[in-house]
Amino acid sequence: MATPIGNLKDITYRAIEVLKAVDVIAAEDTRVTAKLLNHYGITSKKLVSLHQHNEQRAAPHVIGHLAARRSVALASDAGTPAFSDPGARLVAAVREAGYPVVPIPGPNAAAAALSASGLAGPQFLFYGFLPAKSGERRSTIQEIALLPYQLLFYEAPHRVLETISDLNVGLGGARQIVIARELTKLFETIHTCRLDEAEGWLKADANRQKGEFVLIIEGASRGDDAQRVDAERVLTLLLEDLPVKQAAALAARITGARKNELYARALQLKRDA
């Protein structure tokens, strides 16, 4: 079942009814769920722990409860379970064992951010978290750079600056980014700017780097596609024989792409080589 992503009032009537009615609640963090239950005066519930590291092991216990005709609800710390959260393996095991799984829809950070972003493209790709290691993150960004869909990412505060810097280099600075931070909470902020302005905006006030983030970036345009594929190919070839600065300058002259973006990308390619 979906639970709030910050503001405890963001929970459906049905979710409250289910929390009151079930025999057992499988919770990602029992303390977080206990706080929610407390807020709604729901007392003496059996809570069992089900998180990323014990999901496989915990599934048979949950199925044991179901076999004993006890109803079980699944709650993650925030938002919708199995959405960049544990839950999918449990759901698969429960369904495999022949029990029905009933979704209780509600809050989700990506949907909340998208709905307030003002970005109008009909298609989007929800990526979730990019890899934590910079080399893997950069190559992942390259893989999705040319998709003509808005790109949605989740990011943690301690990585948001480096991720935005990599997105700027990998996608080009001209695209719009919506930085949706602390949604439904006291310091909720939704800021739109060009990708090459985003790092500066975050650095201008340390508070802007705090909290939880959804990043939404405009998809590639058709023109972008052709130029970026070309620029990447030309740059990679030139780097085989020329130093970074010269390769970037020449690739910019050949393809019409921006020299400083190619320079940053050339540095990345050299580092990752």
Out of 24, 79, 178, 238, the residue judged to bind ligand SAM by CB under 6 A: 79
124 binds ligand SAM (CB under 6 A): no
Contact 194, 176 (CB under 8 A): yes
The C-alpha angle 182, 201, 155, rounded to 5 degrees, equals 40
Out of 33, 80, 117, 168, the residue judged to bind ligand SAM by CB under 6 A: 80
Q: Which two tokens stand for residue 248?
A: 């970037």
109 binds ligand SAM (CB under 6 A): yes
Strands 72-75 and 24-27, bridge-based pairing: parallel
Q: Which two tokens stand for residue 58?
A: 């915990």
Stretch that binds ligand SAM, among 53-61, 89-97, 148-156, 218-226 (CB under 6 A): 148-156
Quick one: 78 or 264, whose CB is closer to ligand SAM? 78
Quick one: 40 or 129, whose CB is closer to ligand SAM? 129
Out of 33, 108, 142, 150, the residue judged to bind ligand SAM by CB under 6 A: 108
Stretch that binds ligand SAM, among 63-71, 78-86, 114-122, 190-198 (CB under 6 A): 78-86
Stretch that binds ligand SAM, among 90-98, 105-113, 138-146, 243-251 (CB under 6 A): 105-113
The CB-of-256 to ligand SAM minimum distance in angstroms stands at 35
Stretch that binds ligand SAM, among 131-139, 153-161, 193-201, 248-256 (CB under 6 A): 153-161
Position of tokens 């990752």? Answer: 272
Quick one: 86 or 172, whose CB is closer to ligand SAM? 86
**CA dihedral of 151, 153, 158, 162, whole degrees rounded to 10:** -20
Contact 180, 190 (CB under 8 A): yes
Site string for ligand SAM, 204-233 (x = CB under 6 A): --------xxx-------------------
Q: Which residue is nearest to ligand SAM (CB)?
A: 79
The CB-of-212 to ligand SAM minimum distance in angstroms stands at 4
Position of tokens 């700027």? Answer: 168
196 binds ligand SAM (CB under 6 A): no
- Binding residues (CB under 6 A) for ligand SAM: these are 5-6, 76, 78-80, 83-85, 108-110, 154-156, 180-185, 212-214
